[in-house]
Structure 1
């Protein structure tokens, strides 16, 4: 019995010694270059995104690197230039020969030059299928693939999801040029298409298996409580073949960015990159250069493809409100509407005031987020949408 008392006392003492620790967050802007993309040897364009790191807590989430000179070189001294198509985005359709090795060269406006190691192109095998499985409260998305030559072994995936969205409150008005105007064919606000991209690193390997077969590889989970499954949902899955070194790089990156927060997690470490600042070897650069083709597969999921008692976000708070005011008080709408916070949902109704030359206006309105779907997505139907 005494042992239990001693143990209880020891636990109490240990708990009483715990003090919260808030580590200092650095505000230093190291401004490191970040290089993201793939030297695409297939029919698709080679696209690279160049940006700079920003401090934690910065109001700027993205700092694109514009004005750089970006080229692809092969082991036969052939050079292919990429053009800046948007700020920080460099691209070109190259249709490269997969029998050669390739590297990336970047010259930034601050005079620094970055060069990657030569990498061997690895073509991704075809995706066998992308399938979904309804679990009662979500749709689980999986991919299946195999390499009959047993040469791939290391895989990475990305995805882009798009879904059809209807505004909870229909309206025939839109806030434009600091005023409320009736919508026309170009001002669709009730039907939109919202897109999002994967934010986690998806990896898998068959290096320890006899056959190079990926079965039921988890891609994402889509809860039915989201608007994504309310009408129609589509997901485009992209598959990349990696070298062992590239796979290790992404594994370390995943560990350092997704598995932190517990005392039992591995300590963060710098992932070994194959890009170097040759003008100043002491300057770090973030990214990993790989080459090869990409395979992809798109599927659609309709609301009618599965049964769920409730699908989508609760928009009960979107119920419209009503304002009544005299014509001489506001022209042409109350201030609460003209600032763009709210949008009318029906026509103005005017009634004369007995014994007065003034009129009494009644208008129904709802918050703009409940009326105008273009605040969340695009009202232009994507070319791939069936």
Structure 2
């Protein structure tokens, strides 16, 4: 009897526990997200999208068929071109350094949004991008200065590209239910990524407008194959106003400095884009105006300490599969149909193909995580 009472008690307790879903996770609001800047020396690109609930895992929906216009404080305006995928571009807009502009957005639903006026700042050139080996990996730094002492506030992001090789060199492929020699090299590839952190710096407390070896990213020598062959880092630099610097600093604190009771507590980061149709509507994003300066650096494995850098293919194994199935093994064609990739053929003493060496697609074809098209800058 006691046993059955225990089972009933467990069932009752379990049935009383409901999952807690705070309103922030399932709120119906989809706020407008404005991502981009006004470029004083090139094409300006604005991307419009909508926020989504934390419980949703698909890509955020983009805002299409909107009207995006830049307006000068001194008069005049220009329309951005709708690319149809949520991006809007203004090519050679002739935006002037030192002048103020704002962005006006009108969605297909008729809702209007307006940014504050922002000044277009000229970004000074990057002096150098350097690196130093540390215990945990390669630390990259950026150094810059403004001889006119007018910038004071900076932001950076980066794009990384690295070269790698698959576990096996394959010169055979299975196509249209037949084995044939490959036309493309699927052993040699490149892969890339963009920065996800927020990097801002200021020289406002210094006597001269100099940023010396600001630490950017650390590339681990043991967590990936980024440094196995050749690695490239493209650093982009932007000049900020003090208001923009404060916005990015607050955003960085919200996203990177949390974790304990002694860390700064989260707060709402207020941008400079507002609703006109509904002044109380939240808009996510901050509009800035500047030019962009870039500098690229390359690092080869020969320049690094004698680190044991993984290939990323340590778990790859090969198997020899006959042309015709046996009791022990299926045929090479059957395994190719199932997703395995051929590496090369096995020949008999008379030169006839009797089997194929094969492995999983991810171990043979480097294009599963990258591209075999060599970058133009490589």
TM-score normalised by structure 2 residue count: 0.85
Q: Alpha carbons of 1:175 and 1:287: their partners in 2 closer, same or farther (altered >3 Å)?
A: farther
Contact 1:122 1:291 in 2 (8 A): yes
Q: Alpha carbons of 1:360 and 1:40: their partners in 2 closer, same or farther (altered >3 Å)?
A: closer
Partner-residue secondary structure (3-state), 2:333 = coil
Residues 56-75 of structure 1 show CA distances to partners (whole Å, capped at 9, x for unaligned) of: 13220332222222222211
Contact 2:162 2:192 in 1 (8 A): yes
How many angstroms apart in 1 are the aligned matches of 2:188 and 2:325?
A: 33
1:237-252 equivalences in 2 (<5 Å): 237-252=235-250
Alignment partner, residue 143 of structure 1 = 142
Alignment partner, residue 61 of structure 2 = 63
Partner-residue secondary structure (3-state), 1:344 = strand
Alignment partner, residue 10 of structure 1 = none
Partner-residue secondary structure (3-state), 1:150 = coil
How many angstroms apart in 2 are the aligned matches of 1:350 and 1:283?
A: 74
Contact 1:343 1:365 in 2 (8 A): yes
214-223 or 51-60, which deviates more: 51-60
Aligned pair 1:76/2:69, yes or no?
no
Partner-residue secondary structure (3-state), 2:160 = strand
Contact 1:327 1:360 in 2 (8 A): no
Alignment partner, residue 16 of structure 1 = none
How many angstroms apart in 2 are the aligned matches of 1:241 and 1:113?
A: 28
How many angstroms apart in 1 are the aligned matches of 2:273 and 2:43?
A: 21
Partner-residue secondary structure (3-state), 2:362 = helix
Number of residue pairs aligned between Structure 1 and Structure 2: 353
29-38 or 159-168, which deviates more: 29-38
Alignment partner, residue 290 of structure 1 = 288
TM-score normalised by structure 1 residue count: 0.84
300-309 or 24-33, which deviates more: 24-33
Say which of 367, 374, 378 aligns to 2:367.
Answer: 374
How many angstroms apart in 1 are the aligned matches of 2:266 and 2:179?
A: 52
Contact 1:180 1:338 in 2 (8 A): no
Deviation at 1:198, TM superposition (A): 0.3
Alignment partner, residue 14 of structure 1 = none
Aligned pair 1:204/2:201, yes or no?
yes
Alignment partner, residue 116 of structure 2 = 117
Alignment partner, residue 264 of structure 1 = 262
Aligned pair 1:230/2:223, yes or no?
no
Alignment partner, residue 344 of structure 1 = 342
Deviation at 1:40, TM superposition (A): 0.4
How many angstroms apart in 2 are the aligned matches of 1:79 and 1:293?
A: 19
Alignment partner, residue 9 of structure 1 = none
Deviation at 1:330, TM superposition (A): 7.1
How many angstroms apart in 1 are the aligned matches of 2:263 and 2:273?
A: 27
Q: Alpha carbons of 1:96 and 1:310: their partners in 2 closer, same or farther (altered >3 Å)?
A: same
Gaps of 5+ in 2: 1-18
How many angstroms apart in 2 are the aligned matches of 1:177 and 1:100?
A: 61
Alignment partner, residue 319 of structure 1 = 317
Alignment partner, residue 168 of structure 1 = 167
Q: Alpha carbons of 1:214 and 1:281: their partners in 2 closer, same or farther (altered >3 Å)?
A: same
93-102 or 112-121, which deviates more: 93-102
Alignment partner, residue 130 of structure 1 = 129
How many angstroms apart in 1 are the aligned matches of 2:141 and 2:178?
A: 47
Gaps of 5+ in 1: 1-21, 353-358
Residues 324-367 of structure 1 show CA distances to partners (whole Å, capped at 9, x for unaligned) of: 46369978711x43133x21111265899xxxxxx995332111
Deviation at 1:170, TM superposition (A): 1.4
Q: Alpha carbons of 1:361 and 1:150: their partners in 2 closer, same or farther (altered >3 Å)?
A: same
Deviation at 1:48, TM superposition (A): 1.6
Deviation at 1:106, TM superposition (A): 1.6
Alignment partner, residue 278 of structure 1 = 276
Alignment partner, residue 333 of structure 1 = 333
